[in-house]
Structure 1
Amino acid sequence: MKQVQITVPYEKTEAVYDFLLDGLKVKNVMKFNADNAIVLQFRISDDSVTPTMEGLKHKGVGVEYGFVDILDLKASLPGETEAEAPSESKMQREASLAVEEIYENVKKQALLSFDFFAFIILASLMAGLGLVQNDVTVIVASMLLSPLMGPLMGVALGYVVKDKALFLRGTKNELIGVVIAISVGIITALVISLLVPSKLTDIVGDVDSSTLTEITRRGSFISLDVGIAIFSGAGVALSITRGNMSALVGAAISVSIMPPAVNAAMTLVFGIMRGHIGLLSISGGSFMLLAMNIVMIDLSAMFIFRLKKVSAIAKRSATWTAVTQFRVPRSETLYHHPSPEKSLQEAAVSTPAPEGEEPKKRAEIAPSEKDTT
């Protein structure tokens, strides 16, 4: 359930109010008077957010004049009746969130921050140790820590909504994250080679004997790997449009990005140190797997955003006005009603009297107060 609050200038109130009732079939619209605007407030179901927002933007609300605010309601009394509740058999294709909500969520996830760098480094270290130990559990844990979902979705959504800034920001931060993962993989490989040389010997033996390990299996990709990348991007994009984005969903992307990036860096270092062609070949295959995964994830996410009818965000017009430019007197607002005209009052004013006479008082009629608008 969402609460929608619309702030419009006085001269646009009736048109917007009638459109809500007749065009969008919104019920229980409340109207509040402010000093220089009218506030309309109502509640709608999650499935009605997108058509309501698109209708308001088509009417000019939030684009040519006024504000539109969407608030998430955790609970509401009284609850929905059976007739008001969304039908279970209804196939909802549109996104449950307005495109503006999706945009803000993805934009926050795509930003660089201290936490982003910290999680990338920690996830890369765990992925490297999991690959060396051939431990799937540790690799999965690294996927849960990885924050690469945000930049990748920033690229996909930025392209779909035609936001160049978000697209470029997502691309830049995505590359930064991958470079950090590769750098951590290089450092991890150097440390393992110096401190635990026996582990490097075991890895070389696995490659020579064609033993399938977490390192060797990422030396190339097959059609199943392409499918994993496609389904990962589609799943994450779908969850974003439903508003239930979580770390578990983000792991779907990390499985396609973090291990191949770290594996490519580690096998490159191991191959150079040992002059081993097999390790260098695995490194090249991991780089190809990484590039393929990034491209497929972005393309599948773009497709889902298109399928869910996520459209370009309407920009504010150059003539946009927030509220009415004049202010209604306080006496005419919601909580201050105009007082009745005051009765005529006589104001005694002393006038100077000639010498020898007592001063006289002249009565003046105070003009009645008139309300101004």
Structure 2
Amino acid sequence: MSLRLLEIILPVESTSSIDDLPRSDTVLGRWDDRLNDEQAIVRLLVKASNTEAMLDDLEGRFAHVSGFRVILIPVEATLPRPASDDDATASQAAKSPERISREEIYADVSEGARISRTFVAQVIIATVVAAVGLMRNDNAVIIAAMVIAPLLGPNMSLCLATTLGDTRLALESLKANATGLSIALVFSMVLGAVFVIDVDLPSIQSRTTVSWGDILLALASGCAGVLAFTSGAPSALIGVMVAVALLPPFAVCGLLIGSGDFVAARGALLLVATNVICVNLSGVLTFAAQGLRPRQWWEAERAKKALQLAVGIWLLLLAVLIVLIYQAAAE
């Protein structure tokens, strides 16, 4: 059972209002302490699946109260163990989303949209490692590049921004994506110009064409990335799935451009475009299927329109790419 501890700081006279919250019956434990004459801290132990609803209740009631703040802490274990659900609690839990809270997801995913020295270094290192693995036809080295997963964050944050209708996060995600892909392209082109690239190597040849299997892989990658984020899995575990659809084919594209093989590079670029579209399409749909919505109704309405527009655009682009894939295959 995944648990969370909510530490709520608020005026002393407001602590009794927590008893009246609509979901107070889902609290597994409560502890109150006085910080001073004016403020108190209330600690609530809740299930991770109930955290979002509890946070929404707290924000709706205390957002305008001076000194109000909520700190969310993951709980590894607690003794004694929480009692098993009774029928009423189990029925309530069935209505709750089987994921961590919106705030946790946003904090984790939005971090990946930041362009920092670490991000740039990860992109460079992952590109070099992937290029070496591709040139040596060494799958173990290619997987090592995927574990670094520098392109995971920007793509997942773009999916989240689209689902929530968050324009600021969407722009940051697009900027981080463009930066990461540009760096990867430049460094792989340099390596392609310096070293001799054997296009007939299976690791390179397989990434110069697009098949239905590649489309399914990219769709599964986006879905797996979102499901892992919403369940709170470590990013190192989920990066491999998304990276397999993004970094290696883009490194192949750069290597081939650097070596002067523009025909094969076009096929690799088509694969990259297909993967980016499929990862974002399935990621957005998975976030939506997980019930991720903004808290306020007017924000939810805006997010719904943004979601419909984004899905329409991704589907249109995917249809165009499928036509290009058939044309390339005919040639």
TM-score (norm 2): 0.79
CA distance in 2, matches of 1:64, 1:313: 18
Higher relative contact order, chain-length normalized (CA < 8 Å, sep 6+): 1
CA distance in 1, matches of 2:295, 2:115: 23
Q: How far is 1:171 from its partner?
A: 0.9
Quote the residue 1:302 is aligned against: 284
- 1:134 and 2:134 matched: no
Q: How has the CA–CA distance of structure 1 residues 179 and 36 changed in structure 2, closer, same or farther, with 3 Å as cutoff?
A: same
Quote the residue 2:311 is aligned against: none
1:99–1:313 Cα contact (<8 Å) kept: no
Q: How far is 1:227 from its partner?
A: 0.7
Q: How far is 1:23 from its partner?
A: 5.3
- 1:177 and 2:180 matched: yes
The counterpart of 1:291, out of the listed 270, 273, 276, is: 273
The structure with the larger Rg is 1
CA RMSD of the aligned region, Å?
2.6
Quote the residue 2:319 is aligned against: none
Identical-residue share of aligned pairs (%): 25
Q: Which runs of 5+ in 2 are unaligned?
A: 298-331
CA distance in 1, matches of 2:9, 2:268: 54
SS at match of 2:72: strand
Quote the residue 1:117 is aligned against: 120
Judging by fraction of residues, say which structure has more helix. 2
Quote the residue 2:323 is aligned against: none
Q: How has the CA–CA distance of structure 1 residues 161 and 242 changed in structure 2, closer, same or farther, with 3 Å as cutoff?
A: same
- 1:19 and 2:21 matched: yes
- 1:55 and 2:44 matched: no
Alignment of 1:197-212 (within 5 A): 200=197, 203=198, 206=200
Q: How has the CA–CA distance of structure 1 residues 306 and 24 changed in structure 2, closer, same or farther, with 3 Å as cutoff?
A: farther
Q: How far is 1:232 from its partner?
A: 0.5
CA distance in 2, matches of 1:28, 1:290: 49
TM-score (norm 1): 0.71
Q: How far is 1:40 from its partner?
A: 2.5
**Aligned amino acid, residue 289 of structure 2:** L
CA deviations 1:107-139 (Å, max 9, x no partner) are 222222222122211111121122222222221
Q: Quick check: 107-116 or 162-171, which moved more?
A: 107-116
1:100–1:313 Cα contact (<8 Å) kept: no
Quote the residue 1:281 is aligned against: 263
CA distance in 2, matches of 1:7, 1:268: 57
Q: How has the CA–CA distance of structure 1 residues 24 and 307 changed in structure 2, closer, same or farther, with 3 Å as cutoff?
A: farther
The counterpart of 2:209, out of the listed 197, 214, 220, is: 220
Q: How far is 1:10 from its partner?
A: 4.9
2:160–2:287 Cα contact (<8 Å) kept: yes
Alignment of 1:1-373 (within 5 A): 1-10=3-12, 12-19=14-21, 24-26=25-27, 28-33=29-34, 34-57=36-59, 59-62=60-63, 66-83=68-85, 94-193=97-196, 200=197, 203=198, 206=200, 213-270=202-259, 272=260, 279-312=261-294
Q: How has the CA–CA distance of structure 1 residues 217 and 63 changed in structure 2, closer, same or farther, with 3 Å as cutoff?
A: farther
Quote the residue 1:343 is aligned against: none
Q: How many residues align?
A: 290
Q: Which runs of 5+ in 1 are unaligned?
A: 194-199, 207-211, 273-278, 316-373
CA distance in 1, matches of 2:115, 2:86: 42
CA distance in 1, matches of 2:143, 2:114: 24
1:218–1:282 Cα contact (<8 Å) kept: no
**Aligned amino acid, residue 179 of structure 2:** I
1:9–1:38 Cα contact (<8 Å) kept: yes
